[in-house]
Homo-oligomer: A and B are copies of this chain.
Amino acid sequence: MSLLARPTRRYDYITHGSAIYDESFATIRREARFDHLPADAERVAVRMVHGTGQTDLTDDLVIHPRLVSAAREALEAGAPIVTDAHMVASGVTRARLPRDNEVLCALRDRRTPDLAVLMATTRSAAALSLLEDRLQGSVVAIGNAPTALFHLLEMLLDGAPRPAAIVGVPVGFIGAAESKQALEEVARQGLDIPYLTVRGRRGGSAMAASALNALAQERE
């Protein structure tokens, strides 16, 4: 069989990428609830629902009133994205980034394992400290490790440079809900950095990447 042979079409399915997006987004807008979110955040919520296949995701979604404008302005000014997981970085559609922005993850930095031992924390958390000098004005996206989000908040409360916006959606059963609650409290009580989070256990690298891809530009 030639590599270039198209297989016999046996199923009836949409094959045009932009038509799939359009119909998906229309379905989501029919089924999901957005009235509790800032108006300019609807497209972010739609894309996050799209990436998870779950319209009830928006029930747990919390988006700060200035999150979209702060993140978009930062990216348009060339700010880097700082993340805790290579999967998040891999999920960022580079063509959507307005300034070919850097997407930084220090998890595989050769210094990270030793630093994690020294700091008595996870590699995901320690890796963020290696990027401390890149935090100022950045968009930080935590999509995997609750410990990384706790660590980020502790760095900021200690006076680390301030990101322009935080997408905090670690996933899981141990510390995830608690770390996201801490993000909401810290942002409300003191630091006032625009943020996005998903309450509870849901989250993950795909969700973080979906949010970043929506924040990167207005166009759906």
Binding site for B on A (CB under 8 A): 1, 3-11, 13-17, 20, 23-24, 27-28, 50-54, 86-87, 89-91, 115, 118-123, 125, 129-130, 132-133, 146-147, 150-151, 153-155, 157-160, 171-176, 178-179, 182, 200-206, 209
Other-chain residue from B20, B91, B133, B147 in contact with A205 (beta carbon distance below 8 A): B91
B120 touching A13 by the CB < 8 A rule? no
A123 touching B27 by the CB < 8 A rule? no
**Once the chains are docked, how many angstroms separate the CA of A153 from the CA of B206?**
25
**Once the chains are docked, how many angstroms separate the CA of A154 from the CA of B204?**
31
A202 touching B54 by the CB < 8 A rule? yes
B158 touching A7 by the CB < 8 A rule? yes
A27 touching B204 by the CB < 8 A rule? no
Most chain B CB within a 10 A radius of its CB, from A146, A150, A182: A150
Other-chain residue from B51, B133, B153, B155 in contact with A11 (beta carbon distance below 8 A): B153
B179 touching A130 by the CB < 8 A rule? no
Most chain B CB within a 10 A radius of its CB, from A20, A174, A176: A174
| 11 additional contacts (CB under 8 A) given A3-B133, A15-B147, A206-B206 | A1-B132, A5-B158, A6-B119, A13-B147, A15-B120, A24-B172, A24-B174, A53-B173, A87-B205, A90-B91, A171-B206
**Once the chains are docked, how many angstroms separate the CA of A176 from the CA of B14?**
11
Other-chain residue from B3, B154, B201 in contact with A129 (beta carbon distance below 8 A): B3
B6 touching A173 by the CB < 8 A rule? no
In the bound complex, residues from chain B placing their C-beta under 8 Å from that of A204 are 51-53, 206
Other-chain residue from B17, B50, B153 in contact with A123 (beta carbon distance below 8 A): B17
CB distance from A13 to the nearest CB of B (A): 5
Q: Given A175-B13, A178-B13, does the pair A52, B4 have CB atoms closer than 8 Å?
A: no
CB distance from A34 to the nearest CB of B (A): 16
